[in-house]
Copies of this chain bind each other. A is one copy, B any other.
């Protein structure tokens, strides 16, 4: 049976929920306050769950230094203190909803994580609204 290791991290960012190809009225109807053209922001909290076999010799599933480096390089350096819509490649043409952000973060970490591990990412937008991929 496999063990899971969890690591939490956080970043602060601004965003706006809208589609460029929709009118302001339609964006307002669907996205409400989140469609503020001057942006709003969040303290995003992420939980990275890595699943695999424990190394018998070290007792580690993964060296947390390695996992932290991936999280810092792929997620925090890219998104912390940024405007997700304006400052990132990932959300230039993708609406930065919690659902889309958690999938983007999953893909960024997945690309750097040894294929022997399974991965699940959870993202808190607020204490009461959060997202997970895969479900």
A residues sitting closer than 8 Å to B (CB atoms) are: 1-10, 12-15, 17, 19, 30, 32-34, 36, 38-43, 49, 51-52, 54, 57-61, 63-65, 80-83, 86-87, 94-100, 102-103, 118, 126-135
Contact = CB atoms under 8 A, between A and B. Distances in A.
B94 A5 contact: no
Nearest to A43: B43
Q: How many copies of this chain sit in the oligomeric assembly? A: 6
A47 to B, nearest CB: 9
A63 B87 CA distance: 26
A84 to B, nearest CB: 9
Contacts of A40: 12-14, 41, 80-83
B2 A14 contact: no
B58 A9 contact: no
